[in-house]
Amino acid sequence: MIVILDYNAGNTQSVMHAINRLGYSCKLSKDLNEIQQADKIIFPGVGQASVAMNELKQTGIDKLLPQLEQPVLGICLGLQLMCTHSEENNTLGLGIFPTKVKQFNTPLPVPHMGWNKLQFNDQPLFSGLDQQAYFYFVHSYYAEWCDFTQATATYDLSFSAVLQKDNFYATQFHPEKSGIAGEQILKNFLSL
Amino acid sequence: MLTKRIIPCLDIKNNRTVKGVHFLNLIDAGDPLDLAKLYVQQGADELVFLDITASNEGRKTLVNLVQKIAQEINIPFTVGGGISSVEDVRSLLKAGADKVSINTAALNRPHLIKEIADQFGNQCVVVAVDVKKIDGNYFVFKNGGRINTHIKLEKWLHTVETLGAGEILLTSMNQDGTKDGFDIELMQLAGMCVNLPLIASGGAGRASHFAEVFKKTKTSGALAASIFHFGEVPIPELKQILKQKNLPIR
């Protein structure tokens, strides 16, 4: 079973529809047993870091998530909460990726909103994709580069667009909203 | 590099796409879901659906339509028209919309912008601004362009940015429906006022109009309706032309 974490974040519908379109079934859940027994877990996220972190604490997901051994995919705010700290409302994260989340400080419009390319390493998550593919981003905060950065994107500066450490994967862009290229990323994750 | 967005806009009435000039002489432009799917296939970067039915009956139909769109569309889409409360926003986002566009309700009660941004994040708050140039100044209009608020554009843009808007959809009422090109001066002015993504609307008639607004202003997206619905400017050709002009296009 594929479980989408239910912690009152926006956007869960879009992720579920995208997974259904790929021919998989999935379930929205905040039940710790159900999460623990899932084959794969998706940690979506749209909203504010501190609000989302409080929701995770109330359900106990904050303690469980870093201990999981099955593949986990964080999306957007999901990625940011998997880092050590976010400047958004000075929020402590889950600490899975040893990097910090900073606010864009640029003369360019913020949020970074729209389609952008990645520079990625050879990795199962990018199977079937080339460096010309575009992905949909919408965010005002970014994770700094670290040893677990598997892809970067550039908006004034270069930031972590994909992170991966052991069974933990995370994308700053929205694969569920990134057309065919995004579907390929989800397909690759679901076939890990 | 972040690409410039081409955004078809679908006006929805009674579950159909319609197009008219200033809500008059509405012409049926087809089934919104079919049209949306076609635009995704053609390479549209985002879609905007504006509900021009005001009744409660119409709202329920809209939520159902949003659900259907979200099931089938794999690119982001914004829904607007008649949104006046956090609850309206919640039902549309829950149905699968990525962003909501607010206009009159924000002018009647600006704090609504902050309430939506605090609850759902500022990335989902598009503030639609309709402006008309009168004696050299741009004034903001509400109620579908029928009422002049006498608020100057510069002041309103500053207010909505401070309150947490994530994006501005700026329509030139002077240019709307003319097919004479986007209002370049207006978009330049708006680009100086705010550091938010800006979508230009009103006046698109030819591919060169898109090139002009992207080259001369900070606009990150350009919106059009009838020229796409009636095939006057097909999206694949438009994007090809913009690429040839060295604009960053997906």
* CATH code, B67: 3.20.20.70
Tens digit of each residue's pLDDT (9 = 90 or more) over A43-65: 998 778 888 999 999 999 999 99
Q: Is residue A118 helix, strand or coil? A: coil
Of B95, B123, B218, the CB nearest to A109: B218
**Chain centroid to CA A16:** 14
The type of residue at A68 is: L
B136 domain residue, yes or no = yes
Q: Whole domain around residue B153: which residue ranges?
A: 5-244
Tens digit of each residue's pLDDT (9 = 90 or more) over A118-176: 999 889 999 999 999 999 999 999 999 999 999 999 999 999 999 999 999 999 999 99
Q: Is B5 on the interface with A (CB under 8 A)?
A: yes
Taking the alpha carbons at both ends of chain A, their separation in whole angstroms is: 14
Eight-class DSSP state of A176: G
pLDDT tens-place values along chain B, 250 residues long: 999 999 999 999 888 888 765 555 677 778 899 999 999 999 999 999 999 876 666 677 889 999 999 999 999 999 998 899 999 999 999 899 999 999 999 999 999 999 999 888 889 999 999 999 999 999 999 998 999 999 999 999 999 999 999 999 999 999 998 999 999 999 999 999 999 999 999 999 999 999 999 999 999 999 999 899 888 999 999 999 999 999 999 9
Q: What is the pLDDT of residue B20?
A: 60
CA dist list (Å): A9 to B45, B92, B210: 24, 14, 36
- Whether the CB-CB separation of B247 and B2 falls below 8 Å is answered with no
B143 domain residue, yes or no = yes
CA dist list (Å): B189 to A96, B54, B184: 44, 32, 9
Average pLDDT over residues A103-119: 96
Is the pLDDT confidence value at A37 over 70? Answer: yes
Which residues are registered as beta bridge partners of A3?
Answer: A27, A41
B220 domain residue, yes or no = yes
Q: What is the number of structural domains in chain A?
A: 1
Q: Determine the residue among B93, B123, B170, B196 to mutate to test chain A binding: the one whose Cβ has the most chain A Cβ atoms within 10 Å.
A: B123
- B164 φ/ψ angles, rounded to the nearest 5 degrees: 110, 20
B55 domain residue, yes or no = yes
Q: What is the pLDDT of residue B54?
A: 61
B49 domain residue, yes or no = yes
Residue A111: CB atoms within 10 Å: 19
* CATH code, A39: 3.40.50.880
ipTM of the complex, rounded to two decimals = 0.94
Q: What is the pLDDT of residue A163?
A: 98
CA dist list (Å): A47 to A41, B128, B182, B195: 19, 21, 33, 20
Reported as type and span, the H/E element at residue B10 is strand B5-13
C-alpha triplet B32, B99, B168: angle, nearest 5° = 105
Catalytic-role residue among B88, B98, B130, B183: B130
Is the pLDDT confidence value at A13 over 80? Answer: yes
B28 domain residue, yes or no = yes
Q: What is the number of structural domains in chain B?
A: 1
Q: What is the pLDDT of residue B149?
A: 98
CB atoms A116 and B166 under 8 Å: no
B250 domain residue, yes or no = no
The shortest C-alpha distance from A95 to chain B (Å) reads 23
CA dist list (Å): B99 to A106, A154, B74, B165, B213: 24, 24, 14, 11, 24
Catalytic annotation present for B11: yes
Of B72, B121, B198, the CB nearest to A47: B121
Q: Whole domain around residue A185: which residue ranges?
A: 2-190
